[in-house]
């Protein structure tokens, strides 16, 4: 079994902290993560908004390169990339004619044989079974697990957790000592790709997600998506301005929380790169 | 009635959606769950259930309203509507089709200017480098949208946290990327 990783563009830039925590966990647990050679952008929202064929060709190139390199499973930490990759696999499986056309476009033979895992599935498979023996500093905090949109939707295609009130991240967090709060905003949208073009919408939607987490007494919001993180963390000044508030709750990647629990330093898991201070480590 | 008569191609949006996306707009019975769960319905000129109702009428006037609407661009592709629709109507894929038709027919709503500028800047960035160059994206977006002063205070904070690169992280096979863009540029 050869495990690959598709980091996606955010993890090389604005979500470097997420990248650092993913690789810190891989190192601590002795897990192999082979970066897919010469990977490209998945196309994100822009491609499927403007050009359907392109939105399938870009992920297909990534998947075809993985197959060519004998990668059996691909870890995709970004929930948005994860959704695009799985949706592409689904569309091309369901429509062989389209698959031929896309293969023509990418000049490669995509077959659809690699298994795609999101970050929680990776943690569940490789980390949870051994996390108890490695935990030195239980994450004894109340947490609001925020899944966002694309980790669970379109749920009939991703076939992962349930669409309403998902549980997988909550279960992972309990394994390192956290107490998840009941949280109705788990799968509400943060505003996603409107961060730059409609910051007002992001401020409004993300503000509601933060407000409810604070109202329920959570010490931190736990996320598994770089877009959710940048909207809830980096856009915090815009959010606080929009709602005339001073929300201070930190936003932590699930991988960072696990890293802290097994004794990794805040620097090592990228916590120093956040905009909202994380005072709980 | 023969089978083929049953499936005569309709020369309107609902027909195009059925043919290209496989979505049957007639299946919608207006329960309104999509509009209730849509995070941006309050900003839309027509919430998702109303877009479906307009399409169901299959009149040129209503098709035109849909293609000129702000709604199709405000749809954020969060997929909430699809996950809650009792008829499992794939509204997000339908919206992708409507956005593309709206551009082809040059009926894009003026209020969607910045949203489209951002999408275009995004694709411009990956067309040449293969991976998103965030700084390049922001500069190109500012040029297209003329929102020059937006987020100027964000950049220094991103730089001090090592979150903004000055040089694009390019893929090796940029020629491959260029060919993919070229082959998919005109349908």
Residue located via tokens 């993919």: B180
Q: Does A3 touch chain B (CB under 8 A)?
A: no
Say whether B12 sits in a helix, a strand or coil: coil
- Closest-CA residue of A relative to B157 is A275
Across the interface, do B134 and A49 touch by the CB < 8 Å criterion? no
Provide the pLDDT confidence category of residue B1 given band limits of 50, 70 and 90: very low
Res. A3: pLDDT tops 90: yes
d(CA A31, CA A28): 8
A273 lies within 8 A of chain B by CB: yes
- Report the distance separating Cα A47 and Cα A163, nearest Å: 24
Q: Which of A9, A82, A193, A194 to mutate to test the interface with B (most CBs of B within 10 A)?
A: A9
Query: What is the rounded average pLDDT of the residues A127-150?
Result: 97
Contact A46 B123 (CB under 8 A): yes
pLDDT at A111 over 60: yes
Mean of pLDDT values over B6-20: 85
pLDDT the model gives residue B134: 87
| Minimum-distance CB partner of A38 among B138, B173, B187 | B173
Per-residue pLDDT band for B146 (boundaries 50, 70, 90) equals confident
Cβ contacts of A194 on chain B, cutoff 8 Å: 76, 115
Q: What pLDDT does A183 receive?
A: 98
Q: Which residues contact B167 (CB under 8 A, 6 or more apart)?
A: none
Are the beta carbons of B163 and A104 separated by less than 8 Å?
A: no
Average pLDDT over residues A241-260: 98
Cross-chain residue pair A40–B130, CB shorter than 8 Å: yes
Q: Is the predicted pLDDT of residue B9 greater than 90, yes or no? A: no
CB-based contact A197 B114, cutoff 8 Å: yes
Q: Answer for the pair B89, B23: CB distance below 8 angstroms, yes or no.
A: yes
Sign of CA dihedral A40, A8, A60, B112: negative
Q: Are A233 and A274 in contact (CB under 8 A)?
A: yes
Question: Is residue A25 within 8 Å of A31, Cβ to Cβ?
Answer: yes
What are the tens digits of pLDDT across the range B88-126?
A: 999 999 999 999 999 999 999 999 999 999 999 999 999
Strand-pair category, A3-5 with A220-223: unpaired
Question: Domains in chain B and their CATH numbers?
Answer: 3-108 (1.10.1060.10), 112-185 (no CATH)
Shortest Cα distance from A116 to chain B (angstroms)?
Answer: 20
pLDDT-derived band at A281 (thresholds 50, 70, 90) equals low
For residue A193, what is the nearest residue in chain B, using CA coordinates? B76
Residue of A nearest to B101 (CA): A50
Greatest Cα-to-Cα distance within chain A, rounded to the nearest angstrom: 54
Q: Taking residues A150-179, what's their average pLDDT? A: 96
Per-residue model confidence (pLDDT) at position B144: 86
Beta bridge partners of A119: none
What's the N-to-C CA distance of chain B in angstroms? 34
Top-tier CATH class for A3-118: mainly alpha
Please name the residue of chain A whose CA is at the shortest distance from the CA of residue B122.
Answer: A46
Q: pLDDT at residue B16 above 50?
A: yes
Give phi and psi for A143, each to the nearest 5: -130, 145
Comparing C-alpha atoms, which of B75, B51, B74, B71 is closest to residue B63? B51
Average pLDDT value for residue range A105-120: 97
In chain B, the percentage of residues whose pLDDT exceeds 90 is 73
CATH code of A136-273, in short, is 3.40.50.11810
A226: confidence class by pLDDT, cuts 50, 70, 90: very high
Q: How far is A262 from chain B (nearest CA, A)?
A: 24
- Surface of A (192-221) touching B: CB under 8 A: 192-194, 196-199, 201, 205
- Chain B residues with CB under 8 Å of A164 CB are 83
pLDDT at B155: 84
Chain A residue whose CA is closest to B132: A9
From the list A171, A154, A40, the residue with the least C-alpha distance to A89 is A154
Instruction: Look at A196 and B134 and tell me if their CB atoms are within 8 Å.
Output: no
Domain boundaries, chain A: 3-118, 136-273
Q: In angstroms, rounded to a whole number, what is the distance separating the alpha carbons of residues B108 and B103?
A: 6
Please state, in angstroms and rounded to a whole number, the distance separating the CA atoms of residues B57 and A236. Answer: 44
Sign of CA dihedral B138, B142, B147, B148: positive
Could you give the CA distance from residue A135 to residue A138 in angstroms, rounded to a whole number?
Answer: 6
Q: What pLDDT, on a 0 to 100 scale, did the predictor assign at position B31?
A: 98
What is the phi/psi pair of residue B8, to 5°?
A: -60, 140
Tokens found for residue A102 = 């896309």
**Are the beta carbons of B164 and A13 separated by less than 8 Å?**
yes
Which of A225, A221, A224 shows the shortest CA–CA distance to A236?
A221
CB-CB neighbors (< 8 A) of B161 in chain A: 272-275
- Cα–Cα nearest to A14, from B61, B9, B21, B133: B133
Q: What is the ipTM of this complex?
A: 0.93
Residue A145 confidence (pLDDT) above 80: yes
* pLDDT tens digits for range B31-52: 999 999 999 999 999 999 999 9
| Mean of per-residue pLDDT scores for chain B | 92
- pLDDT above 90 (res B151): no
- Smallest CA-to-CA distance from A181 within A142, A127, A233, A136 is with A142
DSSP conformational letter for B131 = S
In chain B, what residues touch A41 (CB-CB under 8 Å)?
A: 126, 130-132
Least confident among A158-172, B52-66, B135-149: B135-149
Query: Do B171 and A199 make contact, defined as CB atoms within 8 angstroms?
Result: no
User: Which of A74-83, A197-206, A212-221, B6-15 has the weakest average pLDDT?
Assistant: B6-15
Q: How confident is the model at residue A11, as a pLDDT?
A: 95
The yes-or-no verdict on residue B186 having pLDDT over 70 is no
Q: Using an 8 Å Cβ cutoff, are A155 and A207 in contact? A: no
Is A40–B171 a contact, with Cβ atoms under 8 angstroms apart?
yes
Per-residue pLDDT, B8: 61
Residue B19's CB: how many other CB atoms inside 10 A?
13
Q: Which of A117, A42, A130 lies closest to B126, judged by CA?
A: A42
CB contact under 8 A, B130 and A198: no
Name the least confident of A78-92, A152-166, B144-158: B144-158
Q: What is the pLDDT of residue B3?
A: 45
- E-strand ranges in chain A read 3-5, 34-35, 73-76, 115-118, 142-145, 179-180, 220-223, 251-253
Please check whether residue A188 touches B, CB under 8 A. yes
């Amino acid at each position: 079994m050869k495990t690959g990783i598709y980091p996606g563009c955010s993890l090389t830039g604005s979500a470097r902290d997420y990248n650092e925590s993913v690789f810190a966990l891989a190192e601590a647990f002795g897990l192999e993560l082979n970066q897919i050679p010469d990977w490209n952008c998945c196309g994100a929202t822009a491609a499927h908004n403007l050009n359907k064929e392109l939105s399938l060709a870009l992920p297909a190139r990534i998947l075809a390169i993985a197959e060519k390199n004998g990668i059996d499973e691909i870890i995709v930490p970004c929930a948005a990339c994860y959704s695009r990759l799985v949706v592409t696999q689904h569309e091309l499986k369901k429509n062989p004619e389209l698959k031929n056309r896309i293969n023509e476009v990418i000049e490669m033979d995509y077959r659809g044989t690699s298994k795609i895992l999101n970050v929680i599935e990776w943690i569940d498979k490789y980390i949870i079974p051994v996390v108890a023996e490695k935990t030195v500093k239980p994450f004894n905090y109340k947490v609001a697990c925020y899944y966002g949109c694309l980790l669970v939707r379109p749920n009939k295609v991703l076939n992962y957790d349930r669409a309403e009130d998902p549980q997988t991240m909550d279960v992972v967090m309990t394994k390192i000592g956290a107490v998840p709060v009941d949280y109705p905003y788990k799968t509400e949208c943060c505003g996603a790709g409107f961060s730059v073009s409609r910051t007002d919408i992001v401020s409004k939607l993300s503000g509601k997600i933060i407000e409810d987490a604070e109202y329920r007494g959570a010490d931190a919001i736990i996320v598994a998506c770089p877009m959710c993180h940048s909207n809830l963390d980096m856009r915090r000044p815009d959010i606080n301005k929009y709602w005339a508030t001073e929300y201070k709750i930190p936003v932590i990647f699930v991988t960072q929380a696990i890293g802290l629990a097994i004794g990794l330093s805040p620097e090592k898991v990228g916590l120093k790169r956040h905009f909202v201070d994380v005072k709980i480590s | 009635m023969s089978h083929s008569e049953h499936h005569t191609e309709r020369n309107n949006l609902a027909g195009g959606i059925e043919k290209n996306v496989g979505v049957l707009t007639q299946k919608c019975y207006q329960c309104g769950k999509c509009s209730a769960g849509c995070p941006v319905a309050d900003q839309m000129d027509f919430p998702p259930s109303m877009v479906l109702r307009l399409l169901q009428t299959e009149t040129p006037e209503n098709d035109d309203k849909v293609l000129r609407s702000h709604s199709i661009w405000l749809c954020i592709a969060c997929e909430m509507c699809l996950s809650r629709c009792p008829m499992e109507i794939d509204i997000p894929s339908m919206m992708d089709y409507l956005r593309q038709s709206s551009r082809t027919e040059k009926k894009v709503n003026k209020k969607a200017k910045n949203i489209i500028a951002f999408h275009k800047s995004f694709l411009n960035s990956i067309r040449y480098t293969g991976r998103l160059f965030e700084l390049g994206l922001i500069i190109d977006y500012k040029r297209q949208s003329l929102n020059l002063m937006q987020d100027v205070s964000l950049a220094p904070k991103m730089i001090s946290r090592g979150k903004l690169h000055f040089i694009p992280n390019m893929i090796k096979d940029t020629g491959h990327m260029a060919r993919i863009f070229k082959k998919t540029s005109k349908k």
